[in-house]
Structure 1
Amino acid sequence: MKLSRSLLLTVFLLCFLTNLSFAQSFDDIKKYKVNYALARISSKTPVKNISLDPNNIEGIDAFLAIRSFTSNDQKYILLVNPNSLDTKIDFANKYALSSLQYSNVLAIFKNTAYIKSIEAAAAKDLQLQNAGIDHAIPNEKGITLTIDLCPSHKALDRIIFESVFDEFKKIEQPAPLAVSVSGKWILKHQDDLNWLKSLVEKKELNITWVNHTYNHEVNKLPLAENFLLAPGTNLDVEVLENEKLMLKNGLTPSVFFRFPGLVSDKTIVEKIEAYGLIPVGSDAWLAKGQQPNAGSIVLIHGNGNEEIGVKDFIQLLRTKQADVKNKQWLLFDLRQGLEKEFE
């Protein structure tokens, strides 16, 4: 029996809207947990030959699932392309899943940018401050921009994002940057978050969403007992609850993690990496007077609490205007930088 044209159109729209659901929020998340699995779909194309688009991961032979959860009686997984470091939420039943232990993940994907990045971050795990990847793009004229949104009662420094778009719109659109979000910032700044999401939807910016913990606690104790090193810290809350909140607000978590205050020790770095996350530091925290070099990971705070850092960044853009125009100073995607570093 032939379907009417209107019915065919209805079916098509339903399928289309279903595919769009992953860009929307998951309001009813249950059983959210770390769950490693080799995820296979039908394809003969080797993973290493694919540059994964986070919005279209069809056609890859195998990737890594790092989280599983249910929402509205459907089971989902958070997938990582181990070479491009892109992530995506998808239906679990679309894949043949082979459960893995973390040690298996390290072995199976040892030659990928994902595991090489984890290992590079681990090599600096003895540092009390700035452990993790702090320099992303080798021998390139430009920087990777990371903007931290720690809990704050002040409004978002929108001028940072507007300045990036205005400066790079003729040569890099959408302009890539990474935003580290804390749960308590999300809860108090819905309008600002929606504004950032609108910039992504309009393809003005390409934002990599970085986990910056749920509470981002800070106290008056020495660094060795502060931030995530404070006694009684619950990492499952700080890491997994923040990811759940990100998903509920329409953000796809990346594989990156930024320590609050850039403070950590060897034990906590190992625990964060066991969640499948890559710690990201910075070799150019502008508010501390650190100047960026070629390939630097630049850190500024966009939560209204770091006026000096914001001013320094705006000034940096002004001094680089000619280089930007001539494509001699660009913004680089954190994922692509590490992919290139470890290819």
Structure 2
Amino acid sequence: MLRLLLLLLLPLTSFAQLTDYRVFSGRSGNRLILRSWNEGSTSLYWGVDVQTLETSILTEARAISPGEKETWLAQTPYGKALRKEYQRDGSLQDAGIERADTTERGFHLTMDLCPSHKPLTRSLFEELIAAFGPEERPIPVTITITGLWMQAHADDLAWLKNLQTKGLLEITWVNHSFHHRYDPKLPLTANFLLEKGTDLNQEVLLNEQAMLQKGLLPSIFFRFPGLISDKAVFDRILDLGLLPLGSDAWLAKGEAPKQGSVVLIHPNGNEPLGIKKFIELVKQHSTDIRHKNWLLYELPADVSKQN
């Protein structure tokens, strides 16, 4: 059975001609299938391993009923994580997974690529590899990405993918919406994805398609633009099968990382203060890094372990 499933898994590639992209509820082995589409005459599926929270693309799946899905997921790490998020109180800011394993000797580094006309801060990644590379390779990082950033920064995206191909980084790619709408004149309660007229399904599904077309494997996580949401929008993301990703350590806002923190910085050129603070932290902890007492951790593995 395992050998058959491995044969059905596709290597990561780009899907330039995907059509009929839609939400789907199905199963393939230990994977919950959440999306389906066509690539020419081939039907393809995107799903999540309900034990490890790792995602993959497959060529076969069967549809399942809501009842079968509920029973199957009830005692799995994915099902427990989803249920925990549905029970959140609906805070306007930072809703979602903010911290994972508090016993860890380190944290999870998340980097947002919101739309920007400025180039990628490549020096950050070079500093990261120089500092953590000798102890952790590939270095686990989480990059949340928008469709507009991908459209405007093809060279920077290719450079990031090359770091992953070389085995320097292990990147968890996170959907950060396609347009990342923002109006500085609007209050937070009516801004970002809460702005009137926003098509939430389009923001999510269009960006997933853009990621696939660029050869990126979407993870099971979603980060709200500005980390702003309300209960209705938050639950709609959960209904799409995604786990919202917050942060308890947005460095540019003066929030300090703790053990297991989800740290947030912006290497899109728009928030140099956060980059400066992160590099300072790395230098302060250089001895701890060498002794593996201040490390970076992979997000899917840690979230699954906590559930």
Out of 180, 188, 205, the position equivalent to 1:223 is 188
Distance 1:268 1:323, change over 3 A: same
Match of 1:32 in 2: 21
Match of 1:51 in 2: none
Match of 1:131 in 2: 95
In 2, are the aligned partners of 1:36 and 1:67 still within 8 Å (CA)? yes
CA distance in 2, matches of 1:262, 1:248: 26
CA distance in 1, matches of 2:198, 2:82: 23
The answer to which structure, 1 or 2, has the higher relative contact order (CA under 8 A, 6+ apart) is 2
Equivalent residue runs for 1:123-272 within 5 Å: 123-219=87-183, 220-272=185-237
CA distance in 1, matches of 2:146, 2:208: 10
CA distance in 1, matches of 2:70, 2:8: 31
SS of corresponding position for 1:66: strand
CA distance in 1, matches of 2:94, 2:69: 25
SS of corresponding position for 2:90: coil
CA distance in 2, matches of 1:100, 1:258: 28
| Residue 166 of structure 1: how far off its partner (Å) | 1.1
Aligned AA (1:73): S
In 1, are the aligned partners of 2:100 and 2:302 still within 8 Å (CA)? yes
SS of corresponding position for 2:219: coil
In 1, are the aligned partners of 2:8 and 2:59 still within 8 Å (CA)? no
In 2, are the aligned partners of 1:39 and 1:98 still within 8 Å (CA)? no
Match of 2:34 in 1: 66
Deviations 1:142-174 (A, max 9, x none): 000000000000000112211221111111100
Structure 1 runs (4+) deviating above 4 angstroms are: 18-21
Question: What's the RMSD between the two structures over aligned residues?
Answer: 1.6
Match of 1:78 in 2: 46
Out of 225, 236, 246, the position equivalent to 1:281 is 246
In 1, are the aligned partners of 2:10 and 2:57 still within 8 Å (CA)? no
| Residue 273 of structure 1: how far off its partner (Å) | 0.5
CA distance in 2, matches of 1:316, 1:186: 29
In 1, are the aligned partners of 2:141 and 2:297 still within 8 Å (CA)? yes
Match of 2:262 in 1: 297
Give 1 or 2 for the bigger CA radius of gyration: 1
Q: TM-score, normalised by structure 2?
A: 0.94
| Residue 19 of structure 1: how far off its partner (Å) | 9.0
Match of 1:319 in 2: 284
Match of 1:8 in 2: none
Deviations 1:88-142 (A, max 9, x none): 11212xx4x13233x6534421222212222233333410001111001231110
Q: TM-score, normalised by structure 1?
A: 0.84
Deviations 1:59-110 (A, max 9, x none): xxx3211110001211000021011110111212xx4x13233x65344212
Out of 43, 58, 63, the position equivalent to 1:90 is 58
Structure 2, unmatched stretches of 5+, are 1-6
CA distance in 2, matches of 1:107, 1:263: 32
In 2, are the aligned partners of 1:28 and 1:72 still within 8 Å (CA)? yes
Structure 1, unmatched stretches of 5+, are 1-17, 41-61
In 2, are the aligned partners of 1:117 and 1:133 still within 8 Å (CA)? no
CA distance in 1, matches of 2:9, 2:85: 34
SS of corresponding position for 1:23: coil
Deviations 1:280-337 (A, max 9, x none): 0000000000000011000001100001000000001111110010011110000111
Distance 1:255 1:264, change over 3 A: same
- Identical pairs, percent: 43
In 1, are the aligned partners of 2:9 and 2:58 still within 8 Å (CA)? no
| Residue 26 of structure 1: how far off its partner (Å) | 0.4
Deviations 1:164-197 (A, max 9, x none): 2111111110000100000000000000000000
CA distance in 2, matches of 1:110, 1:130: 26
In 2, are the aligned partners of 1:22 and 1:90 still within 8 Å (CA)? no
SS of corresponding position for 1:164: helix
| Residue 262 of structure 1: how far off its partner (Å) | 0.3
CA distance in 2, matches of 1:252, 1:155: 23
Aligned AA (2:59): F
Greater Cα offset, 20-29 or 309-318: 20-29
